[in-house]
Amino acid sequence: MQPSRTIVLVDDLRSFTDGRIALVARTSAAGVRVLEDLRDRRVDELWLDHDLGGEDTIWPVVEVLERAAFEGIPFDLGVIYVHSANPVGAGKVVQVLQRWGYPVRVVSGSAAGLEAGQQTQT
């Protein structure tokens, strides 16, 4: 029996359609709370959408990850997938997270397995 994986999706609209089980946060504040709740656990996949509706963006979540890495206790993340229709915003997120040593992959357009899925790029 394979151990369960912890998957977190921070996205205001999309959900996985391939049956995978994930903790879903629809706002940056909810995303921060989920990460805080999982602080001492491994997160196998963290999916981040840049634009979260209205004026909300993924930056508060990114700042939590940055702060943890700056303090020398980065989150235990298998991979971070950045999936956004905003290529400029997604590029900045990737740049910041890679600078702090997090494993980041860009997913073009929508994310594979999400409502409007496309292929994953590395």
In a domain, 35, yes or no: yes
In a domain, 20, yes or no: yes
Compare 5 and 118 and report the one with higher pLDDT. Answer: 5
> pLDDT tens digits for 23-44?
999 999 999 999 999 999 999 9
In a domain, 94, yes or no: yes
61's CB contacts (< 8 A; 6+ apart) are: 10, 28, 31, 32, 35, 48
Full domain range(s) for residue 42: 7-108
Name the residue among 4, 57, 69 with its Cα closest to residue 29.
Answer: 57
Domain count, the chain: 1
Interval 35-54 mean pLDDT:
94
Helices (H), the chain: 28-37, 59-70, 87-99
* 3 state SS of 63: helix
Percent of all residues in the chain with a pLDDT value above 70, rounded to a whole number: 85
CATH number, domain with residue 89? 3.40.50
In a domain, 104, yes or no: yes
Confidence at residue 3, expressed as pLDDT on a 0 to 100 scale: 59
Compare 111 and 102 and report the one with higher pLDDT. Answer: 102
